[in-house]
Amino acid sequence: MAVTIEDIAREAGVSIATVSRVINKTKPVSPELRARVYQVIERNHFKPNTLAQGLVTKKTNMIGIIVPDISNAVFGKLTKGINSICSKKGYTMMVCESQGELKNELRLLDIMEDKQIEGLLFAGVDVNHTLVKAMLEKSYPVVLVTQEASEDEGAVSTVVHDNVTAMYDAVKFLLDNGHQRIAYLGGPKNDFSSGKKRLKGYRRALEEVGIEVRDSYIVQGEFSFSSGFEGMKTLYEENSKLPTAVVAGSDVIAVGAIQYLDSMRMKIPDDISIMGFDDSDFATYFKPELSTVRISYFDEGEKAARMLLRLISGEQNEPAVDYVPHKIIRRSTTKSLN
């Protein structure tokens, strides 16, 4: 069906070796032959079969990406960042969705191996020992992105933002603005980096200034609007003494909380301050605009992709950890009490 290197060789009156050489510029070929071969290639729209190439060279120019949820904006940005640098280097991405379930993640790790990817970018929810072990056994290098490993720390390369410090800074910001009663409305308990770590940052900031962290001020749920709404409801109903500010585990959660407060006729930020996390696109779509901590997932994707490429090329050999900066964005859902 498709035209092969052999067809070209025959038509150009040379050996397939020569054709291969002009394609890959791997060894000198006389100008005349080269020209002749190029002609025939053009005329026939010849494109080498990458499967055959990969079979012998072990280079497939494909990298894999595993994310929990393809349609989630965070992973969309991340993937875009990854793509921006990979496509530039001639790599194509195979992207898969794990739903954040270990079973799927393990299966995809295998599938990726079958497909002979050259490297993998992995965004997980809880990268535990089982997962790390499986990754280490694979034939390709992997870099964790967005989530560091929860066990076997440092065993596999990682590019993340510092969740502990990011949330610490958010709380600190509120503290500096005179807030004392600050609640935490976070994501899943079992989410290592975006759940546990952020909560840790919250705790640390409070403890550092000697404020007691009360359990009734901590609500964990999902990274969703409805979870933010319900969580805020819980906070509202279970605390006779309401917090003056709440830090949310994500912008969507923050917005859900705002809507609940709105339904209770609470004014933001006058009655209560709300701080988001991520700086999603929609953070400035409505009034009051959301104060939040900005994470550039696009940059994170780029950085991770660069590291993976270094690992693939052998330019880098040891696992490394790289951090992407975050930034507190003060907008209109937070108010100073000073």
- Stretch near its own copies under the rule CB under 8 A, chosen from 16-24, 54-62, 155-163, 202-210: 54-62
Which is closer to its own copies, CB of 40 or CB of 82?
82
Which is closer to DNA, CB of 13 or CB of 154?
13
Residue among 32, 42, 114, 270 that touches its own copies (CB under 8 A) = 114
Residue among 39, 57, 180, 216 that touches DNA (CB under 7 A) = 57
Which is closer to DNA, CB of 51 or CB of 338?
51
- Choose the contact partner of 15 out of its own copies, DNA, none; CB within 5 to 8 A by kind: DNA
Question: Residue 161 in 3-state DSSP?
Answer: strand
- Stretch near DNA under the rule CB under 7 A, chosen from 46-54, 73-81, 205-213, 313-321: 46-54
- Determine, following the binding rule CB under 7 A, whether residue 314 of this chain makes contact with DNA: no
- Choose the contact partner of 281 out of DNA, its own copies, none; CB within 5 to 8 A by kind: its own copies
DSSP letter string over 115-134? TT-SEEEE--S-B-HHHHHH
Which is closer to its own copies, CB of 169 or CB of 289?
289
Residue among 13, 17, 39, 80 that touches its own copies (CB under 8 A) = 80
Which is closer to its own copies, CB of 12 or CB of 112?
112
Alpha carbon distance 115, 297 (integer Å): 27
- Determine, following the binding rule CB under 8 A, whether residue 73 of this chain makes contact with its own copies: yes
- Which is nearest to 233 in space by CA: 208, 274, 264? 264
| Cβ neighbour number for residue 270 with a 10 Å cutoff | 9
| Cβ neighbour number for residue 23 with a 10 Å cutoff | 17
DSSP letter string over 209-263? TTPPPPGGGEEE--SSHHHHHHHHHHHHHH-SS--SEEEESSHHHHHHHHHHHHH
- Choose the contact partner of 62 out of DNA, its own copies, none; CB within 5 to 8 A by kind: its own copies
| Count of CA atoms in the C-beta half-sphere (13 A) of 291 | 22
Residue among 129, 176, 281, 313 that touches its own copies (CB under 8 A) = 281
CA distances, 329 to each of 56, 62, 98, 173, 295 (Å): 51, 37, 32, 10, 10
**Shortest Å distance, C-beta 106 to DNA:** 20
CA distances, 215 to each of 77, 265, 272 (Å): 34, 25, 19
Burial of 26 (0-12, 13-18, 19+ CB in 10 A): exposed
Burial 132-163 (b: 16+ CB within 10 A, else e): bebbeeeebbbbbbbbbbbebeebbbbbbbbb
- Stretch near its own copies under the rule CB under 8 A, chosen from 75-83, 191-199, 234-242, 269-277: 75-83
Footprint of its own copies on residues 13-52 (CB under 8 A)? 47-52
Answer whether 147's CB lies under 8 Å from 160's CB. yes
Please give the biggest Cα pair distance in the chain.
89
Alpha carbon distance 61, 193 (integer Å): 30
Which is closer to DNA, CB of 40 or CB of 160?
40
Give the per-residue contact string, 17-36, with DNA (x = CB under 7 A; - = no): xx-xx-xx-xxxxx-xxx--
Binding site for DNA (CB under 7 A): 1-2, 4-6, 13-18, 20-21, 23-24, 26-30, 32-34, 46-49, 52-53, 55-57
Binding-site ranges for its own copies (CB under 8 A)? 1-2, 47-52, 54-55, 60, 62, 69-73, 76-77, 79-80, 83, 87, 92-97, 110-111, 113-116, 139, 225, 252, 255-256, 259, 262, 281-282, 284-287, 298
